[in-house]
Amino acid sequence: MKRIAVFTSGGDAPGMNACIRAVVRGAVYHGVEIFGIRRGYSGMINGDIFQMTSHSVSNIVQRGGTILKSARSREFMTSEGRKRAYDQLMNHGIEGLVAIGGNGTFTGALKFFEEFQIPTVGAPGTIDNDLYGTDNTIGYDTAVNTALEAIDKIRDTADSHDRIFFIEVMGRDSGYIAIQSGIAGGAEMVMVPEVLTPISEVVETLKQGWSRSKSSSIIVVAEGDEEGNAAEVAEKIRSQVGVDVDMRVTTLGHIQRGGIPTAYDRILASRLGLGALEGLLNGEKNVMAGIVNNELVYTPFVDTIKLPKPISEDLLRMVKILSV
């Protein structure tokens, strides 16, 4: 393989730039021509493809976001879109791809290989940490720390005003950010999409707290919780505890997607970027590079896409015990 391309796709994540840097510098080291594709599959379809050098990735290891930009492409979901993308890659003589993204990205890459035999190796880039085949995804650690900083600040005002705060963190289908930031922030409860926490249980916990003279509480809610988002959960609870209880809702939103990546994320991203590149050069295809128990492993896309990565029930149990 003499010419390959790298792109970022789906929701951006802090550390993606460190990962791009590792792919590009690794390619230069191995004497392979490296191209960047802007805006993921959209840019592939539109031919937004350019040659990169070692210099193209100078001074980006510490930057959040992605210098290659990112997008979620509807057109790539159609066979016409994928044919256009293939034609563009052929025009540039590109023989293999490194895709930095999540499940949607890898689903697209697999379909693309079935139709056009372009091999892809993935690097897991998403703040959600919802990919089977790696202990942590790029961006997750930074997002948890961003959420934690906000929770710590909200705790100050919650305590001053004797209020209950419902803090919504990201995670449409995943409670990883919620559980980690909740534990580190000393939350009274954490609500995640993977495990149903009925409203009655939240009310019960609040009442137990009041009986022990607890005057403020933090409840971290993942945006995709089964009982609804934080505003919906708060509304349901209000209907049971009455209007006298002082409650507020804060949605952290996209602040969790930006910012300077932590040292952990930069190192993880560097290992995964180089791992993905060297995997591709060694003939791996349709696999995701991951770090499991501190070892580099390659997991087939079919598994990363289909297999669940369950939240530890032990951690949820711990939240209950520690909030007493």
Catalytic residue among 12, 128, 225, 265: 128
The phi and psi torsions of 34 (rounded to 5 degrees) equal -125, 130
Does residue number 40 form part of the binding site for ligand F6P (CB under 6 A)?
no
Q: b vs e for 12-45, b when ≥16 Cβ sit within 10 Å of the residue's Cβ?
A: bbbbbbbbbbbbbbbbbeeebbbbbbbbbbbbbb
Among residues 70, 126, 197, 217, the one that binds ligand F6P under rule CB under 6 A: 126
Q: Cβ(18)–Cβ(76) under 8 Å?
A: no
Does residue number 182 form part of the binding site for ligand F6P (CB under 6 A)?
no
Strand 33-37 with 49-52, pairing:
antiparallel
Ranges of H-type helices in 219-258: 230-241
User: Could you identify the residue written with the tokens 């510490």?
Assistant: 62
Shortest distance (Å) from residue 60 CB to ligand F6P: 21
Shortest distance (Å) from residue 278 CB to ligand F6P: 27
> 178 vs 206, which CB is nearer to ligand F6P?
178
Q: What is the DSSP letter of 115?
A: H
DSSP three-state, residue 19: helix
Query: And the tokens for 110?
Result: 């697999």
Which positions from 50 to 89 touch ligand F6P by CB under 6 A, shown as an x/- string? ----------------------------------------
Query: And the tokens for 62?
Result: 């510490």
Asked about 246 being catalytic, the answer comes back as no
Does residue number 128 form part of the binding site for ligand F6P (CB under 6 A)?
yes
Shortest distance (Å) from residue 127 CB to ligand F6P: 5
Does residue number 225 form part of the binding site for ligand F6P (CB under 6 A)?
no
> 52 vs 249, which CB is nearer to ligand F6P?
249
Q: What is the DSSP letter of 275?
A: H
> Which among 87-95, 164-172, 265-273, 308-316 is the span making contact with ligand F6P, rule CB under 6 A?
164-172
Residues that bind ligand F6P (CB under 6 A): 11, 102, 126-128, 170-172, 223, 257
Catalytic residues: 128
